[in-house]
Amino acid sequence: MYPFKEIEKKWQSIWDKQHTFQACEAGDKKKIYCLEMFPYPSGSGLHVGHLKNYVPMDAYCRFKSMQGFNVLHPMGWDAFGQPAENEAIRCGRNPREMVPDYAARYKQTLIKVGCSYDWKREINSSDPEYYHWTQWFFLLLYRRGLAYRATAPINWCPSCKTGLANEEVREGCCWRCDSLVEKKPMPQWFFRITEYADRLLKDLDSLDWTDGMKEMQRDWIGRSEGAEVEFAVEGTDRVLRVFTTRPDTLFGATFMVLAPEHPLVRELTEPERREQVERYIHQVQSETEIDRLTVDRSKTGEFTGAFAVNPVNKKRIPIWIADYVMMGYGTGAIMAVPGHDARDFAFARKFDLPIIQVVSRTGEEYSLQEAEPADGIAINSGSFTGLTTAQFKKAITDWLKENQVGKPTVNFRLRDWLISRQRYWGAPIPIIHCDRCGTVPVPEEELPVLLPEVADYQPSGTGESPLAAFDFFVQAQCPKCKGLARRETDTMGGYACSSWYYFRYVDPKNSHMFASRKALDFWLPVDIYTGGIEHARSHLLYSRFLTKVLYDEGVVNFSEPFLLLRNQGSMLAYTAGRKPRTCKAGGHSEADDKIIDWIVLKPEEKDQFPPNEIVWRWARMSKSKGNVVTPDEIAGRFGADSLRIYIMFVAPFEENVQWTEEGIQGSFRFVSRIWRWLQAALPLYQNNWSSNTPTIASPQERSVRRKLHQTLHKVELDFDHFQFNTAVAAIMELLNEVTTYAPVEKDSLPELINPILISEIIEMITLLLAPFAPHLCEEIWERLNKPGSIYKAPWPKFDPIIAAKDEITIVVQINGKIRDKLLVPVGLDEPEVRKLALSSTKVIPHIESKKIVKILYIKDRMLSVVVK
Ligand code: ANZ
Ligand code: ZN
């Protein structure tokens, strides 16, 4: 039996004591910065699903270190922000005391599975030493005009009396109490990421990320080219500006729609429409943006009573308001072209507004059953009739400019980054509000603005941050006039911390700067970054933005933080759920009638349902589903090395894995077999084997040695492609071949085995397996009397000659036609090959009684003969 318990403990303690994985900025080794997205430590601890990311990256780092790279592989805790705060509130603890406790548990588990982090660089984003620099970033952005305060609505739960993050709003209701969430205008801080929209889009091309990830970012940035067009409001001197991507459909604009929040709505509304319009505005307030953006929702809206004038044909068109037009995009107003826009079509049908076709597939008019958004040929468009969509777009843009009623514009869907939270657990925003001097930044030397230690940090009930209740925090001296002033009480959201943490790892103890220039230049950018696909948008975009700001400031010499990004698949577990009980009539409204056909059972519910009502399915492992398997349990039963091999072997890195106990048992058997074979082989090991090249006696020995080098090559290539499963499979195959050659009999190997070859095999297998099963391999390495950690040993050198096949097929062509294929030893001389070819019974009939004009030989591939 493989005594994994003692061995794993022993090596974990040695690695810790000897700082085996400590990175340093010295030496002439090439650096590689390998990073996994840092986790938010939650109370439930790590489960094996988390390891789907950490374990393969760990193997990668160990491999790179053996290859002679200077590896930086750090870990830390994303500890500030909403998830930690909510968890603390839920269990009635102070986050200050809870976070380190949770982090310690995470760390323990990561150590237990043999992860090779440089723990000297551990960071915690709620630590003043860390958030000092989060505040410094705020000041940097403020100084560069990229941080500003504006009034914007927050999600407000009137019953909990608290602001909610978007993720805390579920179908328009509060996640805690299910009351309808309202919008409440509050002054808030933003980072002006929209200023970087173009660069964030363009620079995506240079990154080695999956197409899927890049597409998600492009989509989020959402660049649209189009035009702004001005419509005069009849009977006033007001104009309404609209943004359209289809200025070629102007002749088909039969009404206008304003967002209910549009600033001109109240002014334009006719007195007899006021009541309906006000009611509608109020109703829309409680809708979420996601609802409003849903295309196939049934349309609602109100007529304002006012009319606008279409600039191209002077036609009078009614002005409506409707929730499908968003205030935050374009100008918050649209020209509606029901013939060619699906939402406008649905709206026109519902409210009986005219539909005019202005684009046609054929150039003829036909009756439209639905909106036709495709390009085509213009009809019903005055002097533009007959133009293609592309021609029209160009012509109308010129016309709009000439007539001073519009201009070409580019719009981005991306919004500025809201960083304010009116909550306790975050880095205080380093700003002071002074009645005389206005908004004044806290001087850099006064950072950090410490988050006060208070007993009661619950949301305030007024919508303001709970910090506003503490005079000792709020009262401040104005840095400019030295008079009494008020400290900003909003804190920064978690993303403010997590979008720059990868800089801090390179110099985590620096008290003068977020990191020294030397360390930044040495380690960054991150060479390989791994994490979940759920971070495709916010986290990665914010990180890219901050890096560009630093680049513009001249603080770093690169403008993209993560050159290569890989996303791990999820760990799925077999999960108990139930079919929903059929709803009684009136159970829920049409609007929230989503199709849910399976509801996860809470752990305590499982016994309350009869087995025939329980439906089992594969679902993502998570504590909330009650389907987690913990690394502590599995490593305790099968050993960390078996768990690691299972995770890497069971599926490609990017793919989902279905957790099964049989799978881990299979890896355990493999690890045990390796151990047993090595134990039997060790007595034959000769430390000086490499000075005696093995004399290969038999074809079988030759074949084993070839397999050894082929496997080495395969493992190297697989690592470069982040393909861990096939690398493990290759080592398994190798073990099969080795044990066929040298089977274990009564705990030892047969006598007539070549000890030099065995020595080479032992050493190579141990090295090859070291990234995957680190504890076992360190132990063997020690038993081989090797000095130091195996991770300081060089990765074995691949020998292509040994790996080459013995025999090779040579194609014989006569006048360009293949006539035979010869199996010959590799590297056979040309005269030998010629002799074989020309005497082949398949070749002779084609050369008999002919004259050989020319013979061409391509080594180990082809012999081409020309005859006449
Ligand atoms: C007229 C038109 C005709 C439009 C047509 C489309 C098709 P993207 O591609 O997402 O940029 N739009 C503009 N501002 C809007 C807002 N604040 N809320 C909702 N919709 C808005 O979409 C741009 C198009 O979305 C614009 O082009 C406008 O409708 C609408 F055959 O104008 B279009
Ligand atoms: Zn002042």
Is the preceding peptide bond at 448 cis, omega within 30 degrees of 0?
Answer: yes
Query: Which residues are within 8 A (CB) of 314 and not within 5 positions of it... i.e. 6 or more apart?
Result: none
pLDDT at 604 over 80: no
Q: Which amino acid is at 831?
A: P
657-658 and 255-258 beta bridge pairing: unpaired
| Tokens found for residue 407 | 């201009």
How many angstroms from the chain centroid is the CA of residue 355?
44
pLDDT tens-place string over residues 794-829: 999 998 888 888 778 899 999 999 999 988 877 788
CA of 219 to the centre of ligand 1 (A): 15
Could you tell me where the DSSP H helices lie in 250-361?
Answer: 265-268, 274-284, 289-293, 342-351
**How many Å lie between the centroid of ligand 2 and the Cα of residue 436?**
5
Cα–Cα distance between 641 and 773 in angstroms, integer?
5
- How far away, in angstroms, is 475 Cα from ligand 2 center? 13
Is pLDDT above 50 for 584?
no
pLDDT in tens, 166-224: 767 777 777 777 788 888 888 999 999 999 999 999 999 999 999 999 999 999 999 99
Pairing mode, if any, of strands 528-531 and 31-36?
A: parallel
- Compute, in angstroms, the gap from residue 437 CA to the centroid of ligand 2: 4
Q: pLDDT tens across 784-795, in order? A: 999 999 999 999
First to last CA, the chain: 72
Nearest ligand to the CA atom of 486: 2
Closest listed ligand to the CA of 434 = 2
Query: How many whole angstroms from 449 Cα to the centroid of ligand 2?
Result: 18
185-188 CB contacts, 8 Å cutoff, 24+ apart: 185/151, 185/152, 185/153, 185/154, 186/151, 186/152, 186/153, 186/154, 186/422, 186/463, 187/149, 187/150, 187/151, 188/149, 188/150, 188/151, 188/152, 188/154, 188/418, 188/420, 188/490
User: How far apart, in Å, are the Cα atoms of 708 and each of 536, 685, 690, 713?
Assistant: 40, 17, 15, 9
Token pair recorded at residue 168: 């805390």
| pLDDT for residue 867 is more than 80 | yes
What's the whole-number mean pLDDT along residues 393-419? Answer: 93
Q: For atom 1 of ligand 1, which residue has the closest CA?
A: 244
CA count, 13 A, side-chain hemisphere, 637: 9
Nearest protein Cα to ligand 1, atom 7: 341
Q: CB under 6 Å to ligand 1: residues?
A: 224, 243-246, 249, 325-326, 329-330, 332, 334-335, 337, 340-341, 373, 411
- Atom 28 (ligand 1): residue with closest C-alpha? 244
Q: Residue 255: nearest ligand to its CA? A: 1
Highest mean pLDDT among 283-287, 718-722, 845-849: 718-722
Cα–Cα dist 6/148, whole Å: 57
Single out the residue of 241, 322, 305 nearest to residue 268, CA to CA.
305
How much is the CA Rg of the chain, to the nearest whole Å? 35
Distance 411 CA to ligand 1 centre (A): 11
Q: Report whether pLDDT(576) > 70.
A: yes
Ligand 1, from 244, 345, 409: best to mutate by most atoms within 8 Å of Cβ? 244
Quote the pLDDT of residue 596.
63
User: What pLDDT does 587 receive?
Assistant: 39
Q: Is 193 helix (H, G, I), strand (E, B) or coil?
A: helix
864: enclosing H helix or E strand: strand 862-867
pLDDT digits (tens, 9 = 90+) for 324-335: 999 988 999 999
Share of the chain above pLDDT 70, in %: 97
- The predicted-structure confidence for 480-538, as pLDDT tens digits, reads as follows 999 999 999 999 998 999 999 999 999 999 999 999 999 999 999 999 999 988 888 88
Q: Which residue has a Cα nearest atom 33 of ligand 1?
A: 244
Task: Provide the 10 A C-beta neighbour count for residue 669.
Answer: 12
Residue, of 295 and 729, whose pLDDT is higher: 729
| Distance between CA atoms of residues 287 and 281, nearest Å | 11
pLDDT by residue (tens digit) across 448-470?
A: 999 999 888 887 778 889 999 99
Q: What is the best residue among 329, 344, 356, 381 to mutate for testing ligand 1's pocket, by most ligand atoms within 8 Å of CB? A: 329
Q: Is pLDDT of 92 > 60?
A: yes
The CA 156 to ligand 1 mean position distance, Å, reads 29
Q: How far is the CA of 162 from the centre of ligand 1 (A)?
A: 34
Mean pLDDT of 284-301: 82
Which residues fall inside 5 Å of ion ligand 2, going by CB?
434, 436-437, 478, 480-481
In the chain, % of residues over pLDDT 90: 73
Tell me how far the alpha carbon of residue 22 lies from the centroid of ligand 1, in angstroms. Answer: 54
Q: How many CB atoms lie within 10 A of CB 719?
A: 20
With the most atoms of ligand 1 within 8 angstroms of its CB, the residue from 334, 359, 393, 414 to mutate is 334
pLDDT band at 297 (very low <50, low <70, confident <90, very high): confident
Between the CA of 594 and the centroid of ligand 2 the distance, in Å, is: 54
Can you give the pLDDT at residue 296? 79
Pull the structure tokens for residue 567.
């996303």
Those residues whose C-beta lies under 8 Å from the C-beta of residue 817, and which sit 6 or more positions away, are: 846
* pTM across the whole model: 0.85
Strands 571-578 and 657-658: parallel
Residue with tokens 């390009």: 375
Output phi, psi for 84, to 5 deg. Answer: -65, -40
682-709 tens-digit pLDDT: 999 998 887 776 677 688 888 999 999 9
Ligand nearest to the CA of 436: 2
How far away, in angstroms, is 430 Cα from ligand 2 center? 15
Residues 120, 125, 131, CA angle at the centre, nearest 5°?
A: 110
Query: Relative to the CA of 359, which ligand 1 atom is closest?
Result: 31
Select from 244, 283, 242, 276 the least CA-distant residue to 261: 283
The predicted pLDDT at position 167 comes to: 66
Mutate to test the pocket of ligand 1, among 220, 245, 256, 293 (most ligand atoms within 8 A of CB): 245
Q: Which atom of ligand 1 is nearest to the CA of 327?
A: 17
Ligand 1 atom, smallest distance to 224 CA: 11
Look at residue 362 in the predicted model and tell me its pLDDT.
93
Q: Where are the beta strands (DSSP E) in 132-181?
A: 147-157, 162-164, 169-170, 173-174
Taking the CB of residue 29, how many other CB atoms lie within 10 A of it? 13
